């Protein structure tokens, strides 16, 4: 008997999990409230935070799934190119025939051993449900005294609603936040004709250009070695090593005229942005402490400085909202208290037949870990991977509750899901790829080397992708890599 699955969302997460569910014999139906597939990458106002001029901060190799490379040789694809890629991916696996656009899911409730999905006046029952609706749709705007009365003529918006610099030409603009959207928007405004751009932030992050010495920075930062180091070394040593990579690649923000960040990279955080620090250095962007209050057009900052602005853009993150889940599921997940109590962001033993895709916050691109999470779900439900032990799941959930929601890194998420799916490549099986597997990019092809759905051409593909930008051209570790690897091996 065929097992039916409702997949909520037709962005990268929904498409990837549908592809892998099909491979295990499931029958997915993909519900999409918008008019077309693509999720954030549709760039539709009100449904997407992708603005027309945006390019990825992640390289094309790490912004792809293992079955389909990008067309062309752009290092950082445009938003439109990513959308085209998702359409090609959907066509490759005939996912479009399973797509139900303009179908907003109102409620998901348990129905015996299955799940009932209500959309409009229609109720359907499915054996299983995967929630892949995205977690970056509800901007978090901080409470600032007087903000509601801001009288600048371009108003207050979240970065989610930003659509390019033309509205702000000749204007004085305040950009609030220190993560990627805030810094990228500030740099675009400064280059796009804004009269005056100020960035206000609670803390100064380290900033790493997305392209350094001809190598995409996500190839350096998000490695398998980094995941192994995080498991093995003391946090202070992992912090030191990451900071060493960042500062030697890009310097420290105070060298550009920005505030000096905390000594600890973990305390300060790090953001990828190519043009932000150079714009600070040449005075195109000014940096201020966090805003304290607003009165009309005037903004008072934490140091007492006052300036007038025509517009304010908040790039201050997102809240996780899944309003279609019933009260029982919401309570189990601790959603209304701001939590997301799950085993590795995916399952809860008290919600059998329900899984989640892409509900974590991370540094780095999502495509690779999303595919691995999709494979874990499909393999678990299909019996290819061993189902998680309930006691282990509950322990993981209690740990999740205790720690609360926090940002992770792309490589940590990818390795977590690869292990769960049984596709983490073993170093001793691939001596000719030893360096690439440790210090090369976590390309999707490296997770097709072994385990379920291994591909015969994966070793050659991965070797090419690791060497593509000249980062990993041979198997001989550098002096630093040898030192780093020894620290993990000997720990």
Tens of pLDDT, residues 104-145: 999 999 999 999 999 999 999 999 999 999 999 999 999 999
The neighbour count for residue 277, using CB atoms within 10 Å, is: 24
Tens of pLDDT, residues 371-399: 999 999 999 999 999 999 999 999 999 98
Contact between residue 370 and residue 13 where contact means Cβ atoms under 8 Å apart: yes
What percent of the chain is predicted at pLDDT more than 90? 93
The pTM score is: 0.96
The dihedrals phi and psi of 308, each to the nearest 5 degrees, come to: -100, 145
Place 190 in a pLDDT band, splitting at 50, 70 and 90.
very high
**What pLDDT, on a 0 to 100 scale, did the predictor assign at position 340?**
93
Place 203 in a pLDDT band, splitting at 50, 70 and 90.
very high
Contact between residue 262 and residue 203 where contact means Cβ atoms under 8 Å apart: yes
Q: How far is the C-alpha of 409 from the C-alpha of 182, rounded, in Å?
A: 19
pLDDT for 370 beyond 90? yes
**What pLDDT, on a 0 to 100 scale, did the predictor assign at position 338?**
86
Helix orientation angle between 224-232 and 235-250, rounded to the nearest 10 degrees: 150
Contact between residue 489 and residue 427 where contact means Cβ atoms under 8 Å apart: no
Structure tokens at 360: 């974590």
Tens of pLDDT, residues 292-327: 999 999 999 999 999 999 999 999 999 999 999 999
**What pLDDT, on a 0 to 100 scale, did the predictor assign at position 72?**
86
pLDDT for 404 beyond 80? no
**What pLDDT, on a 0 to 100 scale, did the predictor assign at position 473?**
82
Residues 6+ apart with CB under 8 A from 251: 277
pLDDT for 68 beyond 90? yes
Tens of pLDDT, residues 429-478: 999 999 999 999 999 999 999 999 999 999 999 999 999 987 788 899 99
**What pLDDT, on a 0 to 100 scale, did the predictor assign at position 472?**
84
Residues 6+ apart with CB under 8 A from 178: 199, 201, 202, 203, 204, 205, 269, 271
Q: How far is the C-alpha of 78 from the C-alpha of 55, rounded, in Å?
A: 4
Tokens 């295990």 label which residue? 24
**What pLDDT, on a 0 to 100 scale, did the predictor assign at position 372?**
98
pLDDT for 217 beyond 80? yes
Structure tokens at 414: 């990818």
Kindly report the average pLDDT of the chain as a whole number.
Answer: 95
Angle among Cα 110, 99, 19 to the nearest 5 degrees reads 85
Mean pLDDT of 237-251: 94
């Amino acid at each position: 008997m065929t097992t039916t699955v409702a997949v909520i969302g037709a962005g990268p997460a929904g498409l990837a999990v549908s592809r892998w569910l099909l491979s295990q014999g499931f029958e997915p139906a993909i519900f999409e409230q918008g008019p077309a597939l693509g999720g954030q990458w549709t760039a539709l106002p009100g449904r997407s935070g992708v603005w027309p001029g945006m390019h990825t901060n992640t390289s094309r190799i790490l912004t792809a799934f293992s079955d389909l490379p990008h067309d062309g040789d752009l290092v950082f694809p445009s938003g439109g190119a990513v959308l085209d890629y998702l359409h090609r991916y959907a066509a490759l696996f005939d996912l479009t025939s399973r797509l139900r656009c303009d179908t907003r899911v109102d409620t998901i409730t348990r129905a015996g051993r299955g799940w009932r999905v209500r959309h409009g006046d229609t109720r359907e029952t499915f054996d299983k449900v995967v929630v892949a609706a995205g977690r970056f749709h509800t901007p978090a705007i901080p409470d600032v005294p007087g903000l509601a009365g801001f009288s600048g003529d371009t108003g207050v918006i979240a970065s989610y609603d930003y659509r390019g610099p033309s509205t702000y030409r000749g204007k004085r603009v305040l950009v609030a936040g220190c993560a990627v959207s805030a810094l990228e928007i500030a740099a675009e405004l400064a280059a796009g004709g804004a009269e005056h751009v100020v960035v206000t932030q609670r803390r100064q992050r380290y900033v790493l250009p997305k392209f350094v010495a001809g190598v995409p920075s996500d190839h350096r930062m998000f490695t398998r070695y980094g995941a192994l180091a995080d498991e093995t070394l003391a946090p202070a040593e992992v912090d030191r090593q990451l900071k060493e990579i960042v500062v030697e690649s890009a310097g420290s923000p105070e060298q550009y005229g920005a505030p000096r960040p905390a000594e600890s990279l973990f305390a300060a955080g790090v953001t990828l942005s190519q043009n932000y620090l150079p714009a600070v250095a040449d005075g195109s962007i000014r940096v201020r402490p966090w805003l304290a209050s607003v009165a009309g057009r005037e903004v008072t900052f934490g140091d007492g400085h006052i300036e007038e602005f025509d517009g304010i853009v908040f790039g201050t993150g997102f809240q996780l909202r899944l309003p279609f889940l019933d009260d029982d599921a919401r309570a189990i997940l601790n959603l209304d208290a701001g939590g997301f109590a799950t085993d590795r962001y995916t399952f809860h033993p008290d919600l059998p037949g329900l899984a989640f895709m892409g509900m974590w916050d991370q540094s780095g691109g999502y495509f690779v870990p999303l595919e691995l999470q999709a494979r874990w779900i499909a393999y678990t439900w299909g019996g290819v991977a061993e189902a998680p032990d309930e006691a282990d799941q509950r322990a993981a959930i209690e740990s999740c509750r205790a720690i609360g929601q926090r940002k992770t890194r792309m490589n940590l998420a990818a390795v977590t899901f690869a292990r769960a799916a049984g596709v983490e490549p073993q170093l001793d099986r691939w001596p000719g790829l030893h360096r690439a597997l440790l210090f090369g990019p976590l390309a999707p092809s490296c997770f097709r080397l072994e385990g379920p759905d291994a591909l015969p051409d994966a070793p050659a593909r991965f070797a090419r992708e690791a060497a593509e930008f000249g980062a990993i051209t041979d198997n001989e570790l550098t002096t630093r890599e040898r030192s780093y690897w020894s620290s993990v091996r000997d720990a």
